[in-house]
Amino acid sequence: MHELSVCLSLLREVERIAREHNAGRVTKISVTVGPLSGVEPPLLENAFPIAAAGTVASAATLHLDFMPVRVTCGECGKESEVPANRLVCEHCGDWRTQLLSGDELMLERVVLDTAGRGD
């Protein structure tokens, strides 16, 4: 399962952030996912508890934000929100578009618990 390796990579970064801020645990992790990211959100959610077991994020919740696919048209210059399988301008129908969003897989936010960590 590809999503398990994605979670493991994500958690390495989360653990680095927790160490950097002297946090005892992580309570929430927010990730932005686009339909063109190559990741299936339900599989990512299922893999997360397995990957997080035994880490500072073992009790953390994973929150997924979804980014729509947006393109800008090279012909008319307008932006469109489009389906992932039809990257054409919704205004003029031209196929010469540039992807603006929808391929993201970004760690957006990590909520840390630093209470009781005086060292």
Mean of the pLDDT values across residues 50-72?
A: 97
Q: What is the pLDDT of residue 118?
A: 45
| pLDDT tens-place string over residues 76-118 | 999 999 999 999 999 999 999 999 999 999 999 999 998 855 4
State the Cα–Cα distance between residues 33 and 17, nearest whole angstrom.
20
| pLDDT tens-place string over residues 72-87 | 999 999 999 999 999 9
Q: What is the pLDDT of residue 114?
A: 84
Under DSSP, is residue 92 helix (H, G, I), strand (E, B) or coil? coil
Quick one: tokens of 51? 């990957």
Q: What is the pLDDT of residue 115?
A: 80
| pLDDT tens-place string over residues 2-47 | 899 999 999 999 999 999 999 999 999 999 999 999 999 999 999 9
Average pLDDT, the chain: 94
The yes-or-no verdict on residue 119 having pLDDT over 50 is no
- What's the sign of the alpha-carbon dihedral 102, 78, 95, 80? positive
Q: Which long-range contacts (CB under 8 A, 24 or more apart) does 97-100 make?
A: 97/71, 97/72, 97/73, 98/71, 98/72, 98/74, 99/36, 99/69, 99/70, 99/71, 100/70, 100/71, 100/72
State the Cα–Cα distance between residues 11 and 101, nearest whole angstrom.
24
pTM, whole model, 2 decimals?
0.85
